Amino acid sequence: MSSGSAGARRSGRLFEWLDRRLPIRAFLDSQLTGYYAPKNLNVWYYFGVLALLLLAAQIATGLSLAMHYKPGEATAFDSVEYIMREVPWGWLIRYAHSTGASLFFVVVYLHMFRALLYGSYRAPRELLWVLGVLTYLALMAEAFMGYVLPWGNMSFWGAQVIVNLFGTVPFVGPELVEWIRGDYAIADAILGRFFALHVIAVPLVLLLLVGLHLLALRTAGSNNPDGIEIKERRDAQGRPLDGIPFHPYHTLKDLFSVAVFLVIFAAVVFFAPAFGGLFLEPANFEPADPLSTPPHIAPAWYFAPYYAILRAVPDQRLGALAMLLAIVSFLFLPWLDRSRVRSIRYKGRLARAALAAFAISFIGLGFAGLQPPGPVQLCLARVFSLIWFAWFWLMPIHSKLDRTKHVPARVRHRRAAGV
C-alpha cells in the first residue's frame, strides 16, 4: 500500500470523525456543491467576494497595527511614525491597511452599482439590499473613525467638521457635540473613544451585518444580469435549469478574481500608496495642530460626493439634512423602482439615461467635493445634487414611463446578451 493512499484514508477517517461531531458534509452539500447559482454571473459579480476578502484583510492588518498604535494626543502621530520606520514590516502593514480602506470603497461602490444595473434590490431581495445599505453606513463610520486615528492635521480638522455637524440637530445639538467629544475640543477623549469603536464595536457590527447579508443572499438566491428568477424553472431533480453548482464553478471563478485583485492591490501598496494624495492626503503627514487650519479641508475621496452635497446648500442645518437624505435614499430604492423589468438589459432609453445621469452625478459630486470652494465648484455641486435627488425621488415616475423590452423566460447566452 502506498503512503499516499494511507494518508488519504487517514484524512478520510479524520473527516468522518469531525463530521459526526459537526455538520460539515451537510453544510458543504447545502452551501457549496448542492447550492445552485445562476450560470450567467459576469464580472460584476466579483465584487461581493472581493469585499469579503477586504473585510478579512482589514481585520488582520488592523489587528497588527493596534499592537503598536498608541491612542492619545501626545502619542498617536508618533506611534504611527514608529510603525512606519521602526516596526519590522510596519510600513507594509500600514500601507496595506490604508490602501485596503480605499479599495474597500472602490469595491463596494462597484458592488452597489451592479445592484443598480441588474435591479438586484427589488423583490424578493429588498432585505438583502437594506442590510447592504446598513453595512455601507457602518463602513463609513468605521472609515471616518480610522481616518482620525493617525492624528494628522487633516484627521484633526476632518473630525472637527464632521463632529460639528451634530451641532445642527435641533434642540440638543451643542450638548450632543460636547457629549461626542467628551471635551470642549477635539482632543484626547475623542481619540480614545474613536479607537475603541474603530477596533472593536464597529467591526463587530460589520461582521454581524455581513453575516446577515449573506444569509439573506442564500435565502433569496443571487439575481443575475438578465434579472430572471432561476428558481422558477427546474429539471426533474428539482435543480434550476439555469443554475450551476456554486462549487466548483463559482468558487474557481471567484478565486481568479481574487488573484487579479491581489496584483492590483500589491501594485498600489508598493508603487503608489498615497495614490496622488487620494488614499493618503499630504496634510495628514503633518501632526494635528489646532492653531493651523489647512487651507482646504477635504474629506477622503469616498465621502467627497456627500461633502459636495453638504456644501451645495447655503444653510448648514439644511445642508446636513440633505447629506443625510442623500445617503439614506438608498434604503428606499426597492420601493421607488416601479419598472416592469428588473435588469437594465430589458429597460428602455429613459431608465438607461437616468442611471447614466446618476452615475455621472456621483462622479461629478466626488470631483466637486474634493475642490476648494469657489463659484464653479458650487455650481457643479448644485446641478449634480439635483440630479442625484431627482434620480431617487422621481423614480416612481421615470421607471414607470420607461418603455421596457420583452424579458425571455430563460437566461440568455452571454454573447447574445451584450451588456
Selected binder of ligand HEM within 36, 40, 51, 391 (CB under 6 A): 51
Residue number with CB closer to ligand HEM (108 or 202): 108
Q: Does 380 bind ligand HEM (CB under 6 A)?
A: no
Selected binder of ligand HEM within 36, 40, 47, 342 (CB under 6 A): 47
* Beta strand pairing call for 243-245 and 36-38: antiparallel
Selected binder of ligand HEM within 97, 111, 347, 398 (CB under 6 A): 111
Are the C-beta atoms of 120 and 114 separated by less than 8 Å?
yes
Residue number with CB closer to ligand HEM (79 or 361): 361
One symbol per residue from 216 to 235: x for binding ligand HEM (CB under 6 A), - otherwise; what is it? -x----xx------------
One symbol per residue from 131 to 160: x for binding ligand HEM (CB under 6 A), - otherwise; what is it? -xx-xx------------------------
CB of 38 vs ligand HEM, minimal distance in Å: 8
Contacts 24+ apart (CB under 8 A), 251-257: 251/32, 253/41, 253/46, 254/46, 254/49, 257/43, 257/46, 257/49, 257/50
Binding-residue total with ligand HEM (CB under 6 A): 27
In sequence order, which residues have a C-beta less than 8 Å from that of residue 398 and are 6 or more positions away? 350, 351, 354
Q: What does each C-alpha distance from 271 to 216, 258, 283 come to in angstroms?
A: 39, 20, 20
Contact window for ligand HEM (CB under 6 A) among 44-52, 163-171, 179-187, 232-240:
44-52
Selected binder of ligand HEM within 97, 181, 213, 342 (CB under 6 A): 213
Q: Does 115 bind ligand HEM (CB under 6 A)?
A: yes
Residue number with CB closer to ligand HEM (219 or 293): 219
Selected binder of ligand HEM within 69, 77, 105, 129 (CB under 6 A): 129
Q: What share of the chain is helix, strand, coil (3-state, %, to 5)?
A: 70, 0, 25
Are the C-beta atoms of 221 and 35 separated by less than 8 Å?
no
Residue number with CB closer to ligand HEM (129 or 144): 129
Q: How does 317-329 read in b/e, with b if 16+ C-beta sit within 10 Å?
A: eebbebbeebeeb
Q: What are phi and psi of 37, to 5 degrees?
A: -110, 155
Q: Which helix (H) or strand (E) holds 347?
A: none
Cβ neighbours around 10 below 10 Å, total? 10
Would you tell me which residues interact with ligand HEM (CB under 6 A)? 45, 47-49, 51-52, 55, 108, 111-112, 115, 118, 120-121, 125, 128-129, 132-133, 135-136, 210, 213, 217, 222-223, 330
